[in-house]
Amino acid sequence: MNGTANTYDLIVIGAGPAGLAAAVEAWNRGLKKILIVERAKEAGGILMQCIHNGFGLHYFKEELTGPEYAERFITMVDKTGIEIKLDTMVLDITSRKQVHMVNTKDGYQILEAKTIVLAMGCRERTRGAIGIPGTRPAGIYTAGTAQRLLNIEGYMPGTRILILGSGDIGLIMARRLTLEGAKVLACVELLPFSGGLTRNIVQCLNDFDIPLYLSHTITEIKGDKRVTGAVVMQLDGSRKPVPGTEMEFDCDTILLSVGLIPENELTKKADIRMDPRTKGAIVYENRETSVPGIFACGNAVHVHDLVDFVTEEGQLAGAGAAAYVQAGTKDGQTVELINGNDVGYTVPQHVRPEQMGDSTGIYFRVKSVHKEPCFISIKSGTAEIARLKRDHMAPGEMERISLTRDQLQNTTGKVSVSIEEGGTK
């Protein structure tokens, strides 16, 4: 560090819900020279185009729209001395905590920080990422792009819509487009279960009589200059099309809601260890990455269902960043979290009991649907340290459990999270 005016206590990359929460938390914990860098022209992130309600039920204990939720945190930032650079693109970060950025006002800058929080959010998978056969006509959008076109720009993407994938954005757009007068023909899902929240399936599909075809996919897109139709087929257990199951849809628009991926280019440039399951950084309980003093949170680490949990992770990262500047990273016992039966991933991947509070939250997703009561079993070796009952679990709904410091300190250094069906306790 050169100790110049260009050195910040904390630089937060991203002014979405995770980044805003991290910056406010760090400010409240004593850091006063904080900079938020955002590539968009306004703070708030993806929430600004999510005009539907359903946000804030956990954190604010009331139902808000996306812009209303974002505005709460933008107001919190405005009441502090936190700086924000909008319309600014971060080009690179280094393990030495140098942030390379550019905008039209300041030009190219290299700023230094004592600590960094990565809160870049996530992006949508595109048609190219999933390899749909056919030509390249107009009328194919990711669900998020269609959402921005309709809610921010004021354009209807089409009139007869077919949706591929059942992620939450696609489900919400099925309802939104119907309310605007479009005909949503169907939602087509490759897997035998939906990738979205149950409440969105009920409120966005069932309430509007929009069919959901599970174990189906688009096998052909028709049209040259503009989409004119699509062929949908049922899939067998090996995800191969079943001959004779063709359904042809007369549509002018196809929306892709086929999954989200953490924005991780900057994370990789800083030589941070990545998790191939989440596609995000490997983090500790305070969201510190493998590079001391660089933290990551929210959808840049793993894709969330609820913004309330994104906020919680942002606050963990902000608190961790403040503690790092004030006291550094302390050595001590590290417990590794292991995926057990039917668990796809856990976040955090490592926990340091001596550095956590009385308890820490563990996020994870299951690999399959559990419609009957089942149990989350947390074990250290053969000893079960916690057992929690769930009536229903599905891959589209992230699970959160809490483990105490005492539970994690008395372990072999590895703790597994597994799902067990049946039983009475």
CA distances from 349 to 13, 265, 277, 323 (A): 22, 20, 11, 20
How many residues are recorded in the chain?
425
Instruction: Give ∠ CA 405-407-408 in degrees, rounded to 5.
Output: 65
How many C-beta atoms surround the C-beta of residue 208 within 10 A? 13
Q: What pLDDT was estimated at residue 371? A: 87
3-state SS class at 273: coil
On whether the CB atoms of residues 370 and 392 are closer than 8 A, the answer is yes
Cα(336)–Cα(350) distance, integer angstroms: 5
How many C-beta atoms surround the C-beta of residue 20 within 10 A? 31
Q: What pLDDT was estimated at residue 1? A: 41
Residues 6 or more apart in contact with residue 128 via CB below 8 angstroms: none
DSSP 289: -
DSSP string, 181-227: T-EEEEEE-SSSS-SS-HHHIIIIIGGGT--EETTEEEEEEE-SSB-
Q: What is the largest CA-CA distance in the chain?
A: 70
Cα(387)–Cα(402) distance, integer angstroms: 11
Cα(153)–Cα(51) distance, integer angstroms: 13
User: What is the pTM assigned to this prediction?
Assistant: 0.93
Residue 14 amino acid letter: G
Cα(281)–Cα(272) distance, integer angstroms: 7
Q: Which domains does the chain have, with CATH numbers?
A: 1-123+260-329 (3.50.50.60), 126-258 (3.50.50.60), 332-425 (2.60.40)
Question: Cα 55 to chain center, whole Å?
Answer: 14
Q: What pLDDT was estimated at residue 206? A: 96
Cα(192)–Cα(310) distance, integer angstroms: 28
Cα(203)–Cα(401) distance, integer angstroms: 27
Tell me: the pLDDT tens digits for 286-315? Answer: 999 999 999 999 999 999 999 999 999 999
For the chain (425 residues), the mean pLDDT of every run of 10, in chain order, is: 69 98 98 97 96 93 96 97 97 94 96 97 83 83 96 96 94 97 97 90 96 95 94 94 96 94 94 95 96 96 94 97 89 90 96 91 94 93 93 92 91 92 64
Tell me: the pLDDT tens digits for 65-95? Answer: 999 999 999 999 999 999 999 999 999 999 8
Q: What pLDDT was estimated at residue 3? A: 45
Place of tokens 């002014």: 15
Place of tokens 């989200």: 260
